[in-house]
Amino acid sequence: MLGPERRSHVLNKKEKEITAYHEAGHALIASVLKYADPVHKVSIISRGRAAGYTLKLPLEDRRMQSRLEFLDDIAVSLGGYLAEKMVFEDITTGASNDLQVLTALARDMVTRYGMSEKFGPMALDPAMGRTLFGAGIEPNEQSEEMAAKIDEEVKRIIDGAHKRAEEVLTKHRAVLDAIAKALVEIETIERDDFEKILIANGIVPKKKEDIEHQPLA
Amino acid sequence: MLGPERRSHVLNKKEKEITAYHEAGHALIASVLKYADPVHKVSIISRGRAAGYTLKLPLEDRRMQSRLEFLDDIAVSLGGYLAEKMVFEDITTGASNDLQVLTALARDMVTRYGMSEKFGPMALDPAMGRTLFGAGIEPNEQSEEMAAKIDEEVKRIIDGAHKRAEEVLTKHRAVLDAIAKALVEIETIERDDFEKILIANGIVPKKKEDIEHQPLA
Amino acid sequence: MLGPERRSHVLNKKEKEITAYHEAGHALIASVLKYADPVHKVSIISRGRAAGYTLKLPLEDRRMQSRLEFLDDIAVSLGGYLAEKMVFEDITTGASNDLQVLTALARDMVTRYGMSEKFGPMALDPAMGRTLFGAGIEPNEQSEEMAAKIDEEVKRIIDGAHKRAEEVLTKHRAVLDAIAKALVEIETIERDDFEKILIANGIVPKKKEDIEHQPLA
Amino acid sequence: MLGPERRSHVLNKKEKEITAYHEAGHALIASVLKYADPVHKVSIISRGRAAGYTLKLPLEDRRMQSRLEFLDDIAVSLGGYLAEKMVFEDITTGASNDLQVLTALARDMVTRYGMSEKFGPMALDPAMGRTLFGAGIEPNEQSEEMAAKIDEEVKRIIDGAHKRAEEVLTKHRAVLDAIAKALVEIETIERDDFEKILIANGIVPKKKEDIEHQPLA
Amino acid sequence: MLGPERRSHVLNKKEKEITAYHEAGHALIASVLKYADPVHKVSIISRGRAAGYTLKLPLEDRRMQSRLEFLDDIAVSLGGYLAEKMVFEDITTGASNDLQVLTALARDMVTRYGMSEKFGPMALDPAMGRTLFGAGIEPNEQSEEMAAKIDEEVKRIIDGAHKRAEEVLTKHRAVLDAIAKALVEIETIERDDFEKILIANGIVPKKKEDIEHQPLA
Amino acid sequence: MLGPERRSHVLNKKEKEITAYHEAGHALIASVLKYADPVHKVSIISRGRAAGYTLKLPLEDRRMQSRLEFLDDIAVSLGGYLAEKMVFEDITTGASNDLQVLTALARDMVTRYGMSEKFGPMALDPAMGRTLFGAGIEPNEQSEEMAAKIDEEVKRIIDGAHKRAEEVLTKHRAVLDAIAKALVEIETIERDDFEKILIANGIVPKKKEDIEHQPLA
C-alpha cells in the first residue's frame, strides 16, 4: 500500500527495508484484529505506483460494512506508517495514500453512516444533503461550528485506531521483524508461508469458516 | 429502506439477519406511532439498490404534511438504524440513505416550514430567500451564527425522534424479534400477516377509517 | 395564501378545515390592523398551487410603501400559520410560501429601506452595494458580524409582528371561527358577506374613504 | 432623489406631501452645509423612476473631491429620509436609492480614499488590491476581522452625517415646511424662488463666487 | 502620482495648489530618505489620468529590491496624501492610486518576501502557494486567523512609514512650501532646478555616485 | 536559487555580492546538515530567471523522502535568505522563490504525509480528501479551526528549521565568507573546489558512499 509518490523502478537497499516493514505492518495488524480481512499475499515488488502491497482476502462477498469493520480497516491502514516510525524513527512519503484512505473512511463514518457517538444517526456530508429534493445543498449551509466538531470526531476515530494499531505492533514486534525479514529475502510471501510465520510466532491465522460463524459484526 | 451502498446480489446469512431487523425496526415504529402511515408490506428481497423495503400505506392522498407527521416520519426512518444497534451492537452502512432522508426532513422543518420552537415562522433556507423579488439570495447573506443555530435545531429534532423511536423498540422488543424472525423465514410479509403479528403481540393495527376520523394532526 | 407544496386536487375534509382556518387567519388580521389592505374576497378553492387565497384590496394605487404598512403586511402573512397553530396545535407545510414572503419583507426593511432601529438609514444588501459605480460589491465585503446583526434584526421584526398577530387572533377568536365555518360551508366569501361577518362580530370594516383620509402612514 | 421603487404615474395627495418633504429635506441641507453644492431646482414632478428631484449646482468643474465634501454629500443624501421620519413618524421605500448612494460614498471614503481615522492612508477595497501587479486579489485575502472594522467605520461616518443632518432639519424646521408647502402648491421651484424662501427664513444662499474664494476644502 | 479619479482638463486654482503640494510631498520625501530613488522631474501638468507626477531616477538598473528600499518607497507614496492633510486639513480623492500602490507593496513585503518580523521567511500569498507542485492552493486553505494577522502586519508597516514620512514633512515644511510654490508658478521643475531648491533649504541632493558607493541596502 | 523577480541581465557589483552570499548560504547548509543532498556546483551566473544557483547531488535515485530529509531541505532553502539578513542586515526580493518552495514543503509535511506531531497520521489537504470515492471534497468541509491549526504547524516547522539554519551559518561564518568571496571572484565553483573550501575550513565533505551506508533516515 505504498503509494502515489513512487515511480516504478528497482528499489535500493534502504527502500527495500522500509517497504518491507511498511507492508509487514499492514499484514500483521490485518492478521490480529478480529474484523479485518485476513492476508492473502504480501509483497515488496512494486505494482503500478505502489512500492509494495498487501492483498487481503474478503471473507465473503459483502454488501454492508459495519462500524467495527471500519475501525479495524483504519487500524490496518495505519500499520505501514506506524511500522516505519517504530523501526526507523522516521516517516516517509510512502504512507500518503494510506493516510488519504483512512482519513476518508473516518470522515465517512462520521458524516455518512451515523457511526460517531457525538452525532449519532445524522447525515453531515454537505454533498449528500438534499439530493432527495432535487436542489443541491448550498456549501455554506453547514456551519463552521459543525465543521469543527466533525473534524474533531474524525481525529478522535483515527486516534483510537492509532492506539490499537500501536499496541498490536508493540506486542508482536518479533512477528513484524520476521515478516519484514522474509520480505527482504524473498520479496513476496504467499498465504500459506505467511500463516506459517504467524503460527511460528504464536498467532493463530483466521480461518474463513471461523469468521463466517462468528457473531455478526 | 436499506440504501445506495448495496448492489443487487443474494444476501448471505448474516446480511439477511441484519436486513430483517433493519426492516422490522422501520415497520414496528410505523405501526406504533400515531401519525405514521401504517405498513403495507415488509420485505428483505432486494429492490433496486435497497436490500429490503417497508411499504407504507398513505392513509389518504394528502396535500399538506404537518409537524407531528414529520416527527413520526423521522422516528420511522431511524427505526432500521436503531434496530441494528440494539440487536447487534454494531451499525452498518445500510442506514446511510435513511440518515440522509431524515436529516433533510428535520432541516426542512426548521428552515422551510417554521416548525422549530427556536425560530418559529421564518424562512431560513438560503435557496428560498428571495425568489419573489427576482434576485437570488447571496450564499453569504446568512450569517454563520444563524447557520450554527440551525444545525443545533436540526440535531435537537433528530435527538427527540431518536428517543421516541428507542422507546418503541425497547418496549416492543418481542414484536421486533417476531417480525425479524418471520422475515428471515419467509422474506416478504404482506399486510394481513403483518397485522396478525402485531395483534399476536398486543398491538392494535391502525385502520384507515380510524385515522381519517382522528382529530386533525 | 397556501403555497407551493400543493398540487391541484380536491381537498379532503381535514385539509378543507385547515385551509379554512388558514385563510380566515389572513383575512381577520387584514381586517383589524390599521395599515393592512382590506379584504376583497376569501376562498378555499385552490388556485394554481395554492389551496386557498385571500384577496386584499389595495386602497389606492401606491408608489411607496411605508414602514408601518410593511409591519402590518408581515402580521397578515403570519395569520395563516398562527391560526393553524392556535386551532389545531399543529402546523402544516401549507404556510411555507407565507414564511418566505414575510421573511423577505423583513429583510428588505432592514437591508434596503433603512427601517430598522439598529442600523437606521444605511444600505446593507450586498447585491445593491455599489451599482452606482459600475463594479459589483464582492460577496465577502460584508462582514460576518454585520450579517449576524442583520439576521437578529430580521428576527426581531418578525417576532414583533408575531406578537401583534397573535393578539388579534386571540382577541377575535369568535370571528376567526365564524369566517372559517363559513368558508367550510360556502368555500368562497365575497367582500359584502365578509363585512357582514365582521359587523356581526363587532368589527367595523375599513372603508376606502376612511383610509384615504387617515393621517399619512 | 426618490428612487427605483416608483413607476411613473400621477402621485396621490399623500404621496405628493411625502415627496415634497423628502425633496425639501435634501434641498435644505444642501443649502446650509458649507461644502455641499447649492440647489439649482427642486421638483416633485416625477422624472424617470424618481418621484421628485433636487438639482444641485456644482460650483465648478472639479477633478477631485475632498473628505469634507463627501461628508456634506452624505448628509444631503440623508435629508429626504430624515425629513420623512421627522414629519410623518414613518419612513417610505422612496429613500432606498439615497441609502444605496450614501452607503457607497461612506464605504469608498474608508476603503479607497484613506478618509477614515481608524485606517488612515490604506487601500482596503478587495477589488482594487493588486491591479498594479497583474494578479487580482483573492476574495478571501481580506480577513473577516478587517471586514468587520470597515463595516463599523462606514456606520460611524453615516452616524456622524446623520447627526449633522438632523440638527439642520430641527433648527430650520420652518424653512423645511415652507419649501415643502411651496412644492405641494407649485410642484417645481427654480433657483431664484428657492433662494427667496431661504432669505425669507434668514438663510443666506451660497454664491458661486463666495465658494470659489473660500479656503480650499 | 495623482490618479484615476481625474480626467484630463485644465486644473482650477484650488486644484493646482492641491496638486502642487501633493507632488511636492512625494518629491521632498524621495529627496530625504536614504533608500528612495532621487527626483528627476516634478510637474503639475496632467499626464494621462494623473493630475501631476514626480519622476524618480532609479540609481541603477536593479534586479532586486530590498526591505529598506520598500520601506522608503512606501513613505514616498504617502508623501502626497500627508502633504495635503498637513497643509489643507482635508484629503482628496487624488491620493487613491498612491494608497493602492503602497498597500500592495506592504502586503507583498509580508506575504511574498518574508519582510515582516511577525512571520519571517514564509510565503503567505494564497496565489503563490503551491505552483511548484502543479495543483493550485485552495482559497480556503489559509485560515481566517492567518489572514487577520497578515492584515495587522500590513497596517503596522504602513503606520511605520506614515510616521517617518510625517517627520520629514514636518521638519522640512519650508522646503515643501518652496517646492509647491515653484510648481504653482512654473508648473514643471527639472532636476537641476529642483536640486537648487533643496540646496537653498539646506538639503544635500543625492548623487548617483554616492548611492552606488553606499553600503548595500 | 534566486528567483522570479529577476530578468536576465548582468549583475551590478552590489547584486553580485548579495547573490554570492545568498548561494553560499544554501551551499553551506547543504554541506553541514546530515540529510541534505551534497553540493555539486555553486554559481552566481544567472540561469533563466534565477540570479544564481546551487546544484545539489541527489545521493541516489530515491522513491521516498523522509521527514528528516524534508526538515533539512527546508533549512537549506532558508540558507539564502538568512545569509543575506546576517551579512547585510537587509533582505531582498531574491528569496521569494525559496520561501514559496519551503512553505509548500512544510505544508505538505503537515497535510499530506502525517509528519507533524500535532496531527500525526491524517490527511488534511482538502484537495486530496476524497478522490478515492469519486466525489471531490467540498472546500468548506475543512473547518476554520483546523485550517488555523495547520497554519500554526506549518509555521512551527519553518521556525524549527530557521533556528537550525541560523546555527549553521553562525557557527561556520568563516566558511560562508570564503564561499561568497570565491563566488564573487570566479562566479562558479565546481564540486572539487567547493569541497576544498570546506576541508580548508574543517568541514568534512559528505561522500556518496558514507551516505548510502548511514542508517536509514
pLDDT band at A5 (very low <50, low <70, confident <90, very high): very low
For helices B67-88 and B13-32, the axis angle rounded to 10 degrees is 150
Residue C52: the pLDDT is 77
Tell me which chain D residues have a C-beta less than 8 angstroms from the C-beta of E99.
Answer: 112-114, 121-123
- Backbone phi and psi for residue F9, each to the nearest 5 degrees, phi listed first: -160, 170
Residue B87's pLDDT band, with cuts at 50, 70 and 90, is: very high
Confidence of residue E46 (pLDDT cuts 50, 70, 90): confident
Provide the shortest C-alpha distance from residue D6 to chain C (in Å).
5
Predicted confidence band at E125 (pLDDT cuts at 50, 70, 90)?
Answer: confident
| Nearest residue of D to residue C137, measured between CA atoms | D127
Spatial CB neighbours of B176, under 8 Å, sequence gap ≥ 6: B21, B24, B25, B28, B83, B87, B169
Q: What pLDDT shows up at residue D55?
A: 74
Cβ distance B133 to C12 less than 8 Å, yes or no, reads no
pTM of the predicted model as reported, rounded to 2 decimal places: 0.88
pLDDT band at D130 (very low <50, low <70, confident <90, very high): very low
From chain C, pick out residues whose CB is under 8 angstroms from the CB of B67: 90-92
Q: What is the pLDDT of residue A168?
A: 98
Q: What is the mean pLDDT of residues E18-47?
A: 93
Decide if the complex's ipTM is over 0.90.
Answer: no
Against chain B, the chains showing at least 3 CB pairs within 8 Å are A, C
At E118, is the pLDDT very low, low, confident or very high (cuts 50, 70, 90)?
very high
pLDDT tens for each residue of A56-102: 755 445 568 999 999 999 999 999 999 999 999 999 999 999 999 99
Of C2, C81, C127, the CB nearest to B121: C81
Whether E126 has its CB under 8 Å from any CB of chain F: the answer is no
Q: What angle do CA C180, C182, C187 make, to 5 degrees?
A: 95
pLDDT in tens, A102-117: 999 999 999 999 999 9
Q: Looking at the predicted structure, is the pLDDT value of residue D131 above 60?
A: no
Compare CB distances from E64 to F15, F100, F104 and report the shortest one's residue. F15
Q: Answer whether D165 touches C (CB < 8 Å).
A: no
B with C: 3 or more CB pairs under 8 Å?
yes
Cβ contact B129–C17 (<8 Å): no
The answer to whether residue C6 neighbours chain B at the CB level (below 8 Å) is yes
All cell numbers assigned to F121: 497520521
Give me the pLDDT at residue F171, please. Answer: 97
Residues of E in contact with D142 (CB under 8 A): 147, 151
Whether E133 sits inside 8 A of F90 (CB atoms) is no
Q: In the prediction, which pLDDT does F10 show? A: 62
Among B63-67, F77-81, F96-100, F212-216, whose mean pLDDT is lowest? F212-216
**Chain B residues near residue A122 by CB distance under 8 angstroms:** 99, 102-103, 154-155, 158
Torsion region of A115: left, alpha or beta (phi above 0 gives left; psi -120 to 50 gives alpha): alpha
* Cell representation of residue B42: 415488509
- B139: which chain A residues are within 8 Å (Cβ-Cβ)? 138-140
Residue C169 CB-half CA count within 13 A: 27
- Round to the nearest angstrom and report the end-to-end CA distance of chain A: 25
Would the pLDDT of F27 be above 50?
Answer: yes
> Above 70 in pLDDT, residue D182?
yes
Q: Does C68 touch chain B (CB under 8 A)?
A: no
| F11, pLDDT greater than 60 | yes
pLDDT surpasses 90 at D169? yes
Rounded to an integer, what distance in angstroms lies between the CA atom of residue A159 and that of residue A82? 12
Residue D203 neighbours by CB distance under 10 Å: 15
Scanning F170-189 for CB atoms below 8 A from E yields none
pLDDT, tens only, B150-163 = 999 999 999 999 99
- What is the residue-averaged pLDDT of chain B? 84
Q: Check if the beta carbon of residue E166 is closer than 8 Å to that of residue E25.
A: no
3-class secondary-structure state, position F32: helix
The mean pLDDT value for D39-63 works out to: 72
Q: Grid cell 444497534 — which residue?
A: B85
Mean pLDDT of F35-59: 78
- Section D126-137 average pLDDT: 46
Chain A CB contacts of B101 under 8 Å are 132
> Residue A95: which of F119, F121, F144 has the nearest Cβ?
F121
Q: What is the mean pLDDT of residues D52-60?
A: 66
Q: Do E127 and D138 touch (CB under 8 A)?
A: yes
* Interatomic CA distance for residues E157 and E70, integer angstroms: 10
* Of B15, B17, B23, B153, catalytic: B23
DSSP percent split of chain F into helix, strand, coil, nearest 5: 60, 5, 35
Q: Which of E139, E145, E216 sits opposite F18 (nearest CB)?
A: E216
What's B202's DSSP letter? T
D106-116 pLDDT, tens digit per residue, is 999 999 999 99
Average pLDDT (D1-20) is: 67
Cβ of B63 and C11 within 8 Å? yes
For residue range F114-172, what is the model confidence (pLDDT) as tens digits?
999 999 999 997 655 443 443 444 444 688 999 999 999 999 999 999 999 999 999 99
Q: What residues in D contact E7, CB-CB < 8 Å?
A: 63
Please name which of E10, E6, E20, E33 lies closest in space to residue E160, comparing C-alpha atoms: E33
CB contact under 8 A, A151 and F142: yes
Which residue in F93, F131, F149, F152 has the most chain E C-beta atoms within 10 A of its own C-beta, making it the best mutation to test that interface? Answer: F93
What pLDDT score was predicted for residue B50?
67
What does DSSP assign to residue B56?
A: E
pLDDT of residue E10: 62
Q: Average pLDDT in the E116-141 region?
A: 64
Smallest CA–CA distance from C35 into chain D, residue:
D90
Using pLDDT thresholds of 50, 70 and 90, give the confidence band for residue E28.
very high
Q: How confident is the model at residue E169 (pLDDT cuts 50, 70, 90)?
A: very high
Residue range A187-201: average pLDDT?
A: 95
Does the distance separating the beta carbons of E63 and F5 come in below 8 Å?
yes
Model pLDDT for residues A21-65, shown as the tens digit of each residue: 999 999 999 999 999 988 989 999 876 656 778 777 554 455 689
Contacts with A6 from chain F: Cβ below 8 Å: 63-64
Lowest mean pLDDT among B147-151, C6-10, D69-73: C6-10
pLDDT in tens, D188-205: 999 999 999 999 999 999
Mean per-residue pLDDT over chain E, rounded: 84
Q: Which of E113, E144, E145 sits opposite F96 (nearest CB)?
A: E113
Q: Where are the alpha helices (DSSP H) in B89-172?
A: 96-111, 144-171
> Do the Cβ atoms of D66 and E90 come within 8 Å?
yes
Mind telling me how many Å the CA of B159 is from chain A's nearest CA?
Answer: 9
Q: Give CA–CA dist F154/D55, Å, rounded.
A: 59
Q: What's the whole-number mean pLDDT along residues D15-32?
A: 96
How would residue F12 be classed by pLDDT, with cut points 50, 70 and 90? Answer: confident
Q: State pLDDT tens for residues C5-15.
A: 433 456 788 88
CB D137 within 8 A of CB D129: yes
Whether F9 shows a pLDDT value over 80: the answer reads no
Active-site residues of D: which are they?
23
Contact between chains at C162 and B120 (C-beta distance less than 8 A): yes
Identify the band that residue E208 occupies on the pLDDT scale cut at 50, 70 and 90.
low
pLDDT in tens, A169-182: 999 999 999 999 99
* Contacting residues of E for D67, CB less than 8 Å apart: 90-92
Least confident of A22-26, B180-184, C122-126: C122-126
Q: Mind telling me the catalytic residues of E?
A: 23
Asked if the model's pLDDT at residue B213 lies above 90, the reply is: no
Supply the pLDDT for residue F127: 57
Question: Average pLDDT of chain D?
Answer: 84
The H-assigned helical ranges of chain B are 13-32, 67-88, 96-111, 144-171, 173-186, 191-200, 208-213
Mutation site, A100, A128, A130, interface F, largest F CB count within 10 A: A100
Query: Which of C172, C184, C170, C200 has the alpha carbon at shortest distance from C23?
Result: C184
How many whole angstroms separate alpha carbon D98 and alpha carbon D80? Answer: 8
Asked if the C-beta of E144 comes within 8 angstroms of chain F's C-beta atoms, the answer is: yes
Task: Tell me which of B167-171, C118-122, D60-64 is least confident.
Answer: D60-64
B126: confidence class by pLDDT, cuts 50, 70, 90? low
More confident residue, D215 or B112: B112
Is the minimum CB–CB distance between E117 and chain F shorter than 8 Å? no
> For B216, phi and psi rounded to 5 degrees?
-50, 135
B91/A112 CB distance under 8 A: no
In this predicted structure, what is the pLDDT of residue E126?
Answer: 63
**pLDDT tens digits, one per residue of C177-217:** 999 999 999 999 999 999 999 999 999 998 755 544 444 43
